Every structure is written in structure tokens, then in C-alpha cells.
Amino acid sequence: MNQSPPVSVRAQSGVAVITIDAPPVNALSDAVRRGLVDAFMQADRDDAVTAIVLTGAGDSFVAGADLREMALPPQSPSLPDVMLAMEACAKPIVAAINGAALGGGLELALACDLRIAGPRAALGLPETKLGMVPGSGGTQRLPRLVGSAKAIEMIGQAKIVKAQEALALGVVDQVAEDPLTVAIAAATTTRKRRVSRMVVQAADAEQITKAADGAIRRARGNTAVASAIELVRDAARLPFDEAVAKERAEFLRLRESEESKALRHLFFAEREAGKGASDAKPRDIRSVAVIGGGLMGAGIASCFADAGFPVSLIERDADAAAAAGERIAGIYDAQLRSGRLDDAGAREKRERVTASDDWTRVADAQLVVEAVFEDMALKQEVFRRIDTLAAPGTILATNTSYLDIDAIAAVTGRPQDVIGLHFFSPANVMRLLEVVRADKTAPDALATAFRIGRRIGKLPIIAGVCDGFIGNRIFSLFRREAEYLVEEGATPERIDRALERYGLAMGPFAVADLAGLDIAWATRKRREAANPGSERPLPISDKLCELGRFGRKAGRGWYLYRDGAPKPSVDPEVGDIVAAVRAAKGIAARTFTDAEIVQRMLGVMASEGKKVLAEGIAQRASDIDLVFVNGYGFPAVKGGPMYGAARGFP
Ligand code: NAI
């Protein structure tokens, strides 16, 4: 425990240096806020002090509010009380932003008269990500420095900017290698310059609308984004004090909202998941080989290339290698077109990937990721071959969606090095990564896979071996349940609409059409052959497939996809098939409310989730929530199926 006070003051040539020292990230706890009010008042009274510098100890300036206190009633002094003390202070206050200045941390810096950022500073107001708005002047001071459009973009999209960008935007006044020394020197010459007294620059209405639309588009039911936009707009039309009072009221209202509680649950869930599952020392990974350069393999290769790793993308023959190379080029061309990368950036990343049919390249990699067709015999053959080529200690990973990784590991002479790395499509976009621990996976192999997942910007979640791991296992029951509901009387479009209204990116039938009905059909036939009578049949899906209605790619599936029509339409032929199945089963169709549909569909997920937990396939319920929010388009504002089930899916 840190026994020293969290806020200290020391004098240096007439400057009072106030340091926040509250490890690990200098969060604004009760004690810190109290310490700050005392320190500012004391420095203001002290005649020997002419100016003040505010900084953080360690790697952070102030990383934000103390989220654990969010669940409790607000305590005095509040952060606005700290701001009042700063505004009342007659002496100039300079922020030496040594590291992360996030949320309330940036609000503190904005209440200073001058801001000097160090090279490691990261600045942002990410409150909307937690379903809240800044509550201590952030929505009012930021637009005074950067303009309304930029403030809407930063706050509405919870953007975090680095020092140089912050300087270009006007969030900070200077970037310096040693911000504290520069701040102390600047404090003695600068004048009082309260941001609250500045006026918001007149702005281009079109820019503001564009920024607002961009933020709303990404909000996905998170109403805090619209609130934040309104508050920023207020900065240009209301007096500062009035707008700040309004902002505070909105902050206090939103922190009690169901959305914010759900988003905070996910925030803590990520923190827990980030602890990993093994204390073993990870192995060193310097280069990567990916076997199979199809849809997933190419995406996976680009994930590693983006993070700076040289990648060998290995295919079965020269033609397939050329096609894999084209896919890589396609990924970077798309990023070039969308403006996410410039020419040089796209070329640099693309050149990190070498597509070939030269398997000897496996020997140079410390991590091999297999992404060939989903076929056990083929995967085993590939792993036998990798086993003869890879250097000792190489991590051998499979991207299989459903297959038994223990059976894959068993064909190698090194099952301790075999693991599942299950990416989601599109692999270079989706954050979720299931790290599947097989029976014999060594602790340091698990630790390596977990760490590399984080290195490439993914959210790794540890899973155990079973049919479909955490996500696909639960999701396949969800899809089945949708069809059972159709048998009982709901229409596919009604089910999709109910779940989309709940917040899912796409309903299950729209997803099935997109993914293709034929794959699930083949899986059902395989399972039925292996284990007759083990699963309730899906006669409607079977009939659709027998008619060649494989989904979007066939122009027809659960829906009809007319040439050029922007949206799928309802097809009477599907209605006839459904009616015939109901008649054959003697089912009298009944109606369902949206709420019933949501309860049934998500209830099935939650009950399978409990089994997944009991079997040790998932480590904690919150991991299951993260899987569905980050891999399956589940709405973050609902907190995930396990969180939702515990609250009756409001
Ligand atoms: P795909 O059909 O697009 O690509 C497979 C690639 O493997 C092809 O390019 C093929 O030429 C290559 N290949 C086949 N045999 C090979 C061999 N002996 N040596 C080298 N390369 C060989 O398939 P996709 O969709 O990329 O799936 C690959 C794996 O990823 C499967 O296990 C699948 O279950 C899994 N997966 C797929 C997801 C998806 O959404 N498509 C999502 C997550 C996992």
C-alpha cells in the first residue's frame, strides 16, 4: 500500500509543484480530489508562491475518474469543486502532462492556464464509451480550444490523441521532452488565461453536422453520444456557468443509466480478462507463418503485418499463393481507398507479407497459424507437415471454428506447443480472439498466445476445447432457437426485427443468409451421421438448402435478394415451406411479442453460457459477455447475454 498522501506540494523557485501520486494511474479518487482542493487553496494563499504547476507521478498524468466510486453516491469535494478552486486561484496554473490525461484528467488539464505535454501524453474524453458525458467542464472547455466540430468528434467518438496531434489541434500549447521542467519555467512568465473565459470560434455548420453524424452512426444505442453532442453545441450558445451546470446534471443522470452500468460492466470485464490465465513467461515471437491464405488466413496475416511482424503466408501451390497475395493487396487497397492508410503506409505493411508455396519458411517462424479448410483430416495432415519443419518451441496454432484441437495436437510430437487462435471474420477488423487451451497446451504457450493477441490489438479471451468453443457453441444454439420459434409461429423477419431493435447488428436469419446456409447444412449432416438422433432436426433449413436457397450468394435464402435491391425482401416461397412444416408437425401457429422473442433467444444463450462455465470452457461469465459484444455484434449497451440474463433482459 502507498502510505504517502496522494497529492503533494513542493516549492521550486517560487513555483508550487502539485504532484498527484496515486498508483497505478493517478485516478481521481475522493482522497485525490480533497488533496487537490487543499493544495490549490494553500498555493493561492502562500505569498512565496507566484505560480503553480500540476503534474502526475509515474507514467500517467491522471487517467480519469476512479470508476469503482461510480457505483457509490458522489462524495464532496466533487471534481467541479476542484475546478472552482482552480478558477478562483489568482496565480497561473500550468499542466505538465507527463502521460495519460483521460476523462477527468484531461478536464483538470483544461482548467489550467497552459498545457505542456510530454512525448508519452495521451489525451481524450472517453466518457461516452462508458455511457456517460464528461462531468467537469470537458464539453465546454474543449470546444473553446479546438472548435465545436473537433470537440464533437473527440468526445462523441471517445477519441484519444497523442501529444503531437493534441498540439496540432490546440489541446496543448507545447510538446516537450521534459514537460515538468518546461512547465516550471513557463509558469513564471505566463499570465492567467482561463479557458472558461474564451469564446468558441464561429464554426462551419456543415463540419459540425458531419462530426455529429459520424459520432451518432457509431453510437449503436448509446444515448450518451447524442447528449455529449448537444452539450458541445451548448458551448457556443450558452454562458459558461449555465452550460457547465447543465453538463453536470446530465453526467449525474447518465451515470445512473442502465446503459452506463452495462458499459462499465464491460470495462471491468475487459480488465479481468486482461489478467490472462497463466503467469508463465511468454516465449519470444519475432516472425509469423500463416498456412492457408483464404478469407481468414489473409486477414490474420494482415493483423500481424499491421503490428510490425514479418509474415510468411503459405499456400498449397503457386496459383493459390498468387491468389493469397491478391487478397493481401485487396485488404490494403481498401484501407488506402478509405483513407486509413497512405500510399507509403499501405506499401510498407503489404511488403511485410510474403505469399508463397514454400513450406520451408515455417522454420523461420516462432508462431505458425493454420487457416486451411475446416476439415479434420486436412488439418491433421498440415500439422504433421508443420511438425517436421518448425523449430523447437514454435507455437503451433489453429484457427479452426469447431474442430477438436486435442485431436489436431495429437498428430504432432509436441502437443504442448499446440493451441487454438480463433479469429473472427473479417479478421483484420474484429477485436475478439478466442485463445483455446487444449488438453496438453503448456502454460507458457498459453501466455505467449495471450500476449501476442494483445500485441496485435485484439481482445484475447481464454476458452477450452469443445464443439465451437465459447462463441460458436452458444451461437449455434441461438440460431437453432430462432428456427424453433419460426416453427412455433414467428416469422423470420419478425425475429430479426425484434433482435435488431434490441440492438444486435443483424438478426439471426440475416446472418445465416450472409454466412451461407450450406455450411451449417453440411455440419448437421456430419453430426447426424456420427451421432444419429442427437439433435432436433431443422426441417425448414434443410428444405431451403435442398432448393438451393443457400443465402445471399445464391440470391435467395431465408430472404430474397433481388438484383440491385438495396434490402432483402420477404419471399412467399419461404412462407409456404414454413406452413408445410408446421402442418406436418401439427403445430398451430401462435404470435410472439418482441419481448418474448428476445427473452427466448437470449435466454437460450444464457443457459448454455452457464453450462460453458460449469464445464470450465469459459473462465468467467463476463468473458462470455465480451465474446458476444466483440465477436457477434451484441449491443454493448446491454452488457452481454450473461449480464442481461441476470437482469431479465430489460
Ligand atoms: P477459405 O476457403 O477462404 O480459405 C482456406 C485456404 O486454405 C484456401 O486459400 C486454400 O487454398 C488453403 N488451403 C487448403 N489446403 C491447404 C493446404 N494443404 N496447404 C495450404 N493451404 C491450403 O476458408 P476460410 O473461411 O478462410 O476458413 C479457414 C479456417 O478458418 C477454417 O478452419 C474455418 O473454420 C476458420 N474460420 C473461418 C471463419 C469465417 O468466417 N470464414 C471464422 C473463423 C474461423
- 377 close to ligand 1 (CB < 6 Angstrom): no
Cα separation of 513 and 593, whole Å?
A: 24
Domain stops at, among 266, 298, 327 = 266
Q: Residue 393, exposed/middle/buried by CB under 10 A (0-12, 13-18, 19+)?
A: middle
Residue 523: the pLDDT is 85
Helix 343-351, helix 318-337: angle, nearest 10:
150
Question: Is 584 a domain residue?
Answer: yes
- 468 close to ligand 1 (CB < 6 Angstrom): no
Amino acid identity of residue 129, one-letter, is K
Owner of C-alpha cell 463540419: 207
User: Residue 127 catalytic?
Assistant: yes
Question: Is 278 a domain residue?
Answer: no
Ligand 1 midpoint to CA 460 (Å): 21
The minimum-distance atom of ligand 1 relative to the CA of 378 is 18
User: Residue 107 catalytic?
Assistant: yes
Specify whether 171 is located in the same domain as 207: yes
Question: Is 275 a domain residue?
Answer: no
- 315 close to ligand 1 (CB < 6 Angstrom): yes
Domain stops at, among 465, 494, 515 = 465
Specify whether 477 is located in the same domain as 407: no
For residues 218-243, give the mean pLDDT. Answer: 96
Active-site annotation holder among 69, 87, 127, 535: 127
CA within 13 Å, CB half, 624: 29
Cα separation of 487 and 600, whole Å?
A: 14
Ligand 1 midpoint to CA 371 (Å): 5
Residue 3 pLDDT grade (very low, low, confident, very high; cuts 50, 70, 90): low
CA within 13 Å, CB half, 30: 8
Alpha carbon 526 to its chain centroid, in Å, reads 35
For residues 37-60, give the mean pLDDT. Answer: 97
- 301 close to ligand 1 (CB < 6 Angstrom): no
- Pick left, alpha or beta for residue 469 (phi over 0 → left; psi -120 to 50 → alpha; otherwise beta): left
Cα separation of 54 and 74, whole Å?
A: 24
Specify whether 442 is located in the same domain as 504: no
Residue 69: the pLDDT is 83
Residue 293 pLDDT grade (very low, low, confident, very high; cuts 50, 70, 90): very high
Question: Is 271 a domain residue?
Answer: no
Query: Is residue 626 within a helix (H) or strand (E), and if so which, with residue range?
Result: helix 621-631
Specify whether 584 is located in the same domain as 544: yes
Q: How many CB atoms lie within 10 A of CB 446?
A: 23
For residues 369-378, give the mean pLDDT. Answer: 96
Residue 290: the pLDDT is 98
Ligand 1 midpoint to CA 400 (Å): 9
Residue 527 pLDDT grade (very low, low, confident, very high; cuts 50, 70, 90): confident
Specify whether 433 is located in the same domain as 478: no
Ligand 1 midpoint to CA 295 (Å): 7
Share of the chain above pLDDT 70, in %: 99
Nearest 5°: the CA angle 466, 467, 471 is 90
What's the whole-number average pLDDT of the chain? 95
Query: Is residue 512 within a helix (H) or strand (E), and if so which, with residue range?
Result: helix 508-515
- 295 close to ligand 1 (CB < 6 Angstrom): yes
Residue 75: the pLDDT is 87
Specify whether 117 is located in the same domain as 180: yes
The answer to whether residues 420 and 434 touch, using CB atoms and an 8 Å cutoff, is yes
Question: Is 118 a domain residue?
Answer: yes
Highest mean pLDDT among 64-78, 271-285, 390-404: 390-404
Residue 506: the pLDDT is 93
**Torsion over CA: 542, 543, 546, 549 (sign):** negative
Ligand 1 midpoint to CA 53 (Å): 57
For residues 214-233, give the mean pLDDT. Answer: 95
List the CATH number of the domain containing 13: 3.90.226.10
Q: Which three cell numbers stand for residue 53?
A: 504547476
pLDDT tens for residues 402-442?
999 999 999 999 999 999 999 999 999 999 999 999 999 99
The answer to whether residues 121 and 101 touch, using CB atoms and an 8 Å cutoff, is yes
Q: Which three cell numbers stand for residue 404?
A: 477438436
Specify whether 482 is located in the same domain as 591: yes
The answer to whether residues 109 and 18 touch, using CB atoms and an 8 Å cutoff, is no
Residue spans of beta strands (DSSP E) within 438-521: 459-464
The answer to whether residues 332 and 352 touch, using CB atoms and an 8 Å cutoff, is no
- 382 close to ligand 1 (CB < 6 Angstrom): yes
pLDDT tens for residues 134-152?
999 999 999 999 999 999 9
Active-site annotation holder among 69, 87, 107, 381: 107
The answer to whether residues 67 and 265 touch, using CB atoms and an 8 Å cutoff, is no
- 300 close to ligand 1 (CB < 6 Angstrom): no
Owner of C-alpha cell 479434420: 376
List the CATH number of the domain containing 596: 1.10.1040.50
Nearest CA to ligand 1 atom 14: 372
Q: Diameter of the chain by CA atoms?
A: 92
Q: Which three cell numbers stand for residue 117?
A: 505535454
For residues 296-301, give the mean pLDDT. Answer: 97
Ligand 1 mutation pick, 327, 380, 401, max ligand atoms within 8 A of CB: 401
Residue 627: the pLDDT is 98
- 312 close to ligand 1 (CB < 6 Angstrom): no
The contacts of residue 547 (CB under 8 Å, 6+ apart) are: 573
Cα separation of 404 and 383, whole Å?
A: 13
Task: Inform me whether the pLDDT recorded for 227 exceeds 80.
Answer: yes
Owner of C-alpha cell 477527468: 104
Residue 129: the pLDDT is 95
Q: Among residues 514, 522, 511, 502, which one has the least CA distance to residue 483?
A: 511
Specify whether 227 is located in the same domain as 356: no
Question: Is 307 a domain residue?
Answer: yes
Cα separation of 191 and 231, whole Å?
A: 29
The contacts of residue 533 (CB under 8 Å, 6+ apart) are: none
Task: Inform me whether the pLDDT recorded for 154 exceeds 70.
Answer: yes
Ligand 1 mutation pick, 373, 386, 553, max ligand atoms within 8 A of CB: 373
Question: Is 276 a domain residue?
Answer: no
- CA separation, residue 515 to residues 327, 331, 570 (Å): 19, 20, 18
pLDDT tens for residues 310-320?
999 999 999 99
Specify whether 260 is located in the same domain as 368: no
Nearest 5°: the CA angle 259, 264, 267 is 130
Cα separation of 139 and 236, whole Å?
A: 11
Q: Which three cell numbers stand for residue 569?
A: 425482401
Domain stops at, among 430, 465, 500 = 465
Cα separation of 430 and 477, whole Å?
A: 22
Specify whether 403 is located in the same domain as 438: yes
Specify whether 425 is located in the same domain as 565: no
Owner of C-alpha cell 466518457: 127
- 399 close to ligand 1 (CB < 6 Angstrom): yes
Query: Is residue 523 within a helix (H) or strand (E), and if so which, with residue range?
Result: helix 517-530
Residue 613 pLDDT grade (very low, low, confident, very high; cuts 50, 70, 90): very high
The answer to whether residues 509 and 547 touch, using CB atoms and an 8 Å cutoff, is no
- 373 close to ligand 1 (CB < 6 Angstrom): yes
Task: Inform me whether the pLDDT recorded for 385 exceeds 90.
Answer: yes
Bridge-based pairing of strands 160-162 and 122-124 is antiparallel
Bridge-based pairing of strands 367-370 and 395-398 is parallel
List the CATH number of the domain containing 393: 3.40.50.720
Specify whether 106 is located in the same domain as 194: yes
Ligand 1 mutation pick, 295, 303, 313, 430, max ligand atoms within 8 A of CB: 295
Residue 73: the pLDDT is 84
Show the domain range for 256: 7-266
Question: Is 281 a domain residue?
Answer: no
- 320 close to ligand 1 (CB < 6 Angstrom): yes
Residue 37 pLDDT grade (very low, low, confident, very high; cuts 50, 70, 90): very high
Residue spans of beta strands (DSSP E) within 457-610: 459-464
* Count of structural domains within the chain: 3
Task: Inform me whether the pLDDT recorded for 308 exceeds 80.
Answer: yes
Ligand 1 mutation pick, 290, 291, 296, max ligand atoms within 8 A of CB: 296
The minimum-distance atom of ligand 1 relative to the CA of 357 is 20
Strand partners, 420: 398, 436
- 591 close to ligand 1 (CB < 6 Angstrom): no
Nearest CA to ligand 1 atom 31: 374
